[in-house]
Structures are given as C-alpha cells and as structure tokens.
Amino acid sequence: MKEAKVSIEAFDRVELDGTGIDRITEAEVVAVVREALTHGRGGRIITPNVDILRRAQTEQEAREHLDDADLIVADGMPLIWASRLGGRPLPERVAGSSLIWSLSAGLGLDRRSIFVVGGSPANDGAAKAADRLAEECVGLRIAGTICPDFGFEKDPETYAQVCAKVADAQPDLVFVGLGFPKQERMIAKLKPMLPTSWFIGCGAAVNFVAGDVERAPRWMQRTGLEWAHRLGTEPRRLASRYLRHDAPYALRLLARAPGQRVRTR
C-alpha cells in the first residue's frame, strides 16, 4: 500500500500563551520528516514543555528558537490539558524521548542516517544510544556520534570542532541531547551547514536510550507525572525550576486556557 503524503502545512496550531503548537500526532511527525527528506527539505523540531513555554515569555532567545522551528509539538501533559480546556485539543503528547525511537525507526525504513550528540561523557553515552537505536531500528545507519565534555561550549575552538564533525558526516537527522537552550544553540549553528537535514533537541532522551538514566514508568508519562520522577532522580538540579517556577506557571496556563485561540498556518 502506498503511504499517504503528509505536509507540514496540513496542520493547524493551537496557540498557548503566544506559542503555536502543531496539532499533530507522533506518527504524523515521522511521516512529515520522511516525506521532507525524500524531497530534499530539511527542518527543525522543537518539543516545548512547561519550562520552555514559560521561558519564552521573558527570554528572547527561547522565543527565537521556537519561531525558527518547522514543527512544534507538545512535550508535556499540562500543554495537552490546556488545549483541551480551550476546546481544541492537541491529539496527543509528542515527547522527544519517544521521538528518538519513532524517528529512528522511520528513517530506518528508508535506510537513512542519524547523528547522535550528547549523553554522559564518562561512558560515551552518544555511542551507546546510537548502537541501541541501530540494533532495534532495522535499516538505520549511524553517521556518527559525539559526546562532548561538560562546558565544551565555552571553548570556541572545541565548539567549532564538534559542529564540524557533525556537518562533515552529512546525516539525514541529528539528535542533540544537551538540554535547552544549549542544544537549540547548536542546532541553530548547524542548520546552515546542513540545509537538507532535520534536527531535534531531545534533552535527556540520549541518556534514556543509552540506559544511563531511567525514564519514568509509562503510567507516569500518561498521567502527567513524569516530572515527579525526574525530580526524584535529580532533586538538586530540578527542584527550584519545577517547584518555584514551572508549577505556578502551569497553573496560570491552565487558568487562561479557555481564552486560547486556534490558528492555521
């Protein structure tokens, strides 16, 4: 059976606090990327959660990264709940931690390649993640991996070398798991070098795939409690962000949701 073609322009957007979120499923994201690659078109996917949406209200850099994206999908159940309260629900949560698997499987069907950036430098998490993806996604090719040391971005020469390694490999898709906004800065740097490639900042997904960090159980993912699992595993790093900033913002977002607008591209 011939696969249906899916265009980015086919999807409208739910506007949440000034950010348009594509009303698109995970399977449709994969179809869009595969179709675009077939026609030599690159692009950029951003998966905002509550924290990124909050930061976009006051941080120009966060807003610019969102404005530069070709696909913006909701990685966070509060965004799904807000869309439902507004009367035009997003079809499902589309997390970067899931897309790293589904996109790899989809590209494997076309025998395309990926490059993995990130993971734990102590045990080359990027290579471990790539090996696992290649093992489980038939046909997937690994263009390369790199697991830069913490703070590498502060050295211009090292940063340029990392970007050059990715660009020289000419991958079809690049997973950058460095955390927001570090990963988005790298993607912005790499896009002009690889205009026909796709990019996604996937945060902790590289660590999850490598097996260095355990992802929350599925029931916590489905019920919007994945943040609690992350908080339990990294309390020192995440407590202030989650409890002092993100939780109050999520409550305000839900309270304002009935006034949201849906727009078409």
Per-residue pLDDT of 195-211, as tens digits, reads 999 999 998 999 999 99
Q: What is the pLDDT of residue 238?
A: 59
What digits encode the pLDDT tens for the residues 81-113?
999 998 889 999 999 999 999 999 999 999 999
Give residue 123's Cα distance to chain centre.
23
Of the CA atoms within 13 Å of residue 162, those in its CB half-sphere come to: 26
Structural domains for the chain:
11-216 (3.40.50.10700)
The beta strands (E) that lie in the chain are given as 13-16, 19-22, 43-46, 71-72, 113-118, 141-146, 173-177, 198-201, 261-263
pLDDT for position 2: 39
Instruction: Give percent of the chain with pLDDT exceeding 90.
Output: 70
Contact (CB, 8 A) for 5 and 33: no
Q: For residues 27 and 21, what is the distance between their CA atoms, to the nearest angstrom?
A: 16
Alpha carbons 189 and 138: distance in angstroms, whole number: 30
